[in-house]
A and B are shown apart, each in its own frame.
Chain A
Amino acid sequence: MESLRRAFRNNQTLIITLAVLVFLYVIAIQGMSTRDWVITTLRGLAAGAVTFLVASGLSLIFGLMDVLNLAHGTLFMLGAYVGWSAFVRPDTFIDLLPVIMLIMIGFLLNPLWEKGVSRLQLPQLVGKIWPWVSLAAAALLLFYLLPLYPIARWDAAVYNDSPVTWTQNFTNGLISSLIEPAEFSQASPFRLILGLLVAGILAAVSLAGMRSLRRKVQIAGKLNLPWGRWILIAVLIVTSLILIFYNTPITNFLLNISTNWLFLFAIMVAILIGGAVGGLMEMSLIRPLYSRPIYQLMLTLGLGVIGTELVRALWGRSGFTMPRPALFEGSGEGCPATNLSGWLANNCSTLLINIAGEETRIRVYNEVFLILAGILVLVVVWALLRYTRLGMTIRAGVQDSEMVEALGINVRRVFTLVFALGAALAALGGVLSGPATGLSDLMGANLLLTALIALAIGGLTSFPGSALGALIVGLMQQFIIKYGQIGIPIPFTEITFKPTPPLVPASTVLLMIIILLVMPQGLLGRKE
């Protein structure tokens, strides 16, 4: 009892704030029918789940590295577009994958290049210039090779070949008949394989050269290339050869499997690409700027803009939809399902449930699946933080990364991993929200704002805080949207107030301001 009282006293402000929020929620649901508020709450939870995926990554990165990654919205968008591509045009991925793998091999041999470069005895000027020459050579080689390499593309500028049309083709089940097999008609595959390997090596050597200029101390000891690295290289070579020479059967396999598996494939591709982009971003661009936070902020802002333009260039400006996997696409007989077994049998896109005597349709993907996915990620990441050594290192690093390093832990590697993890979570959010809300070149910027607000509400560096903040922001948005439709009657007057769409983000900002006035460190943030 005494401990309970002490817990209350210590968290008084938090408990009162949460009580006020619950009270507001209860008031909000008084103004609408039971059916409306159930639906609105579900939508709010789903929006919160997507926001959480972005906000949680932001909070992990900010907590550990003090980097506010303003490119996070773009990573979210990238996840959606990459996921769409893997889902609708898996052939493009099968074509691109060996290219990436072959180039990567050069980078995996990095310790070899570092060792070699550190032994070079060159005049200073030559030492400064040759890495750039090597980098230019790599770029030229790629510039020459890639057009010769058969990569299936879509053309955003031509309507018949644009993502919009391909989405329709996908929905109509025409994809497998429209995709042409990849053929090495312009150059022999061996020439291309060799060329890509050389390009990768040239680029890696050039980067090793640039790094050696900055390093004051010679690398001591013997060559450190663990056997795991060699196995990875062997796997990459074999996989890329298989992908090149069995391109058509593999593509056909992907086109003919159920769209559920294909969706899972798309999710995995989005996570991997998102994580890889995040990791590379940290290693190459963020890392040199840890001592200059303002530059870092500007850099991530700029990267976000560049990423958005890149998405526009590759996929076009116009928005398009992403089809749902078969599991959430059923219609016709037996649909909408009225119970779980009915849904399992027919995979209906909607469920018909009875809320307070009214038959109500809920969309399974948008209003059930997204929430479950959000909860799953919450549990998985929480368990990762709680029970693994990496999680322990992250929690310790959030408090004092210098001390973690002084214990003998390579904190830089943890930084890269966490950045990759955060980016992967954002990309996962993107690919999951694709079928629910569609894809547009503004989705990243919009969600970034929402996620930042959720983060501020929850407490910048708190992982559970990011979940709570996302939940509150999601509910707030959906209730304001709903009240925009039904209106709020102002007491003692005849006037009904209908919040306009611009009030949706504005209301969350207002909520954030109020919460931060009461609790400057956010709901679950730590007092400094």
Chain B
Amino acid sequence: MTTLLAVENIQTYIGQFHILQGVTLEVEKGSITALLGRNGAGKTTTLKSIIGLTPPRSGRVVFSGREIQGFRSYDIASLGIGYVPEHRAIFRDLSVSENLKLAERKSNDFKNKAEFIFELFPDLRRLIRLPGNHLSGGQQQMLAIARALVPDNQLLLIDEPSEGLAPVLIEQLMHAIQQLSADTTILLVEQNFIVASQLAERYVIIEEGMSVKSGRMADLIEDKETIQQYLGAA
């Protein structure tokens, strides 16, 4: 297994607040890694620091052997990182097809990927002309993930995909993410431990802005003590 993304001891500030105080993690190529931790632990900020929206003040972020910390977000994204933010952040005034086309990096990206995307999320095919604000929460989540699939991305950063969705939709989404992981690497932030434990092969736990534990998901599931201590769930 080769390492696709390595984050080494990053320190990130938002305004005066020292949010990340040393996060270190590795994402292996072709795997799903779950970023776990309580609310406010710094999971979202970690993703944002990788994509460059809240650039780390120190530390290193290495993506396919290249240091990317301090790059502008669009440069980082162009290297092949797709970002699916918390609360979806799809563009309300743009139609579904415009939302997808905007993500193109080469002029035919959407055309080439359309079949793949519609197979994964059949609903989107029939919603293609609707404006984003007419979509339900689950449909928006699908669109947000589909948007990250339009260009050739090697790594997807997915933030809280199951948040606010009905169980039936979560099931559908998990299935889609599982299918994706066949040829894409995913770093997943997930509050719902059941979802995370079923999807991910590896995990990293963040506590108060620091990465405190990492390893194989299979081991974590056995380790009730750690789950209780850091995630507050059994």
Q: Which A residues lie at the B interface, using CB under 8 A?
A: 216-217, 220, 389, 392-393, 395-396, 398-400, 402-412
Contacts and interface: CB of A to CB of B under 8 A. Distances in A.
B91 A399 contact: yes
B101 A406 contact: no
Contacts of A412: 72
- 9 smallest A-B Cβ distances: which pairs? A408-B77, A217-B70, A396-B91, A405-B73, A408-B78, A406-B83, A403-B89, A410-B74, A407-B103
Given A395-B94, A406-B77, A217 B53 contact: no
B147 to A, nearest CB: 7
Contacts of B161: none
Nearest to B92: A399
A526 to B, nearest CB: 9
19 contacts: A395-B93, A395-B94, A396-B91, A396-B93, A396-B94, A400-B89, A402-B53, A404-B102, A405-B72, A405-B74, A406-B51, A406-B52, A406-B83, A407-B74, A408-B74, A408-B77, A409-B102, A410-B72, A411-B74
Q: Which of A396, A405, A406, A411 has the most CB of B within 10 A?
A: A406
Given A217-B71, A392-B102, A407 B89 contact: no
B37 interface: no
Nearest to B103: A407
Contacts of A396: 91, 93-94, 98-99, 102
Given A399-B92, A406-B77, 5 more contacts: A216-B70, A389-B101, A402-B73, A406-B74, A406-B83
Q: Which of A389, A392, A408, A410 has the most CB of B within 10 A?
A: A408
A63 B125 CA distance: 31
A409 B151 CA distance: 12
A408 B85 contact: no
Nearest to B79: A408
Interface in B118-137: none
B50 to A, nearest CB: 11
B113 interface: no
B167 to A, nearest CB: 28
Contacts of B85: 403, 406
B105 interface: yes
Given A399-B91, A399-B92, A402-B53, A393 B102 contact: yes
Given A392-B94, A399-B91, A399-B93, A407 B147 contact: yes
A240 B73 CA distance: 38
Contacts of B69: 217
Nearest to B83: A406
Interface in B151-181: 151
Nearest to A409: B74
Nearest to A395: B93
A395 B151 CA distance: 20
Nearest to B107: A389
Nearest to A403: B89
Contacts of A398: 93
Contacts of A405: 53, 72-74, 77
A274 to B, nearest CB: 27
A487 to B, nearest CB: 46
A460 to B, nearest CB: 15
Contacts of A389: 101-102
A313 to B, nearest CB: 39
A180 B78 CA distance: 55
Contacts of A411: 74
Q: Which of A393, A400, A405 has the most CB of B within 10 A?
A: A405
B107 to A, nearest CB: 9
Nearest to A402: B53
A211 to B, nearest CB: 14
B194 to A, nearest CB: 28
A220 B93 CA distance: 37
A403 to B, nearest CB: 5
A403 B77 CA distance: 11
A399 B73 CA distance: 17
A407 B70 contact: no
Given A217-B70, A392-B98, A402-B53, A408 B91 contact: no
Contacts of B73: 402, 405-406
Nearest to A396: B91
Contacts of A404: 102
Contacts of B52: 406
A342 B78 CA distance: 60
Contacts of B51: 406
Contacts of A395: 91, 93-94
Contacts of B98: 392, 396
B37 to A, nearest CB: 22
Q: Which of A389, A403, A407 has the most CB of B within 10 A?
A: A407
Nearest to B157: A406
Nearest to B101: A392
A231 to B, nearest CB: 21
Contact of A408 (B99, B101, B151): B151
Nearest to B98: A392
Interface in B51-74: 51-53, 66, 69-74
A400 B78 contact: no
A396 B104 CA distance: 14
A412 B72 CA distance: 10
A405 B51 CA distance: 10
Contact of B53 (A399, A406, A408, A409): A406
A246 to B, nearest CB: 40
Contacts of A403: 85, 89, 91
Contacts of B71: 217
B94 A407 contact: no
Contacts of B53: 402, 405-406
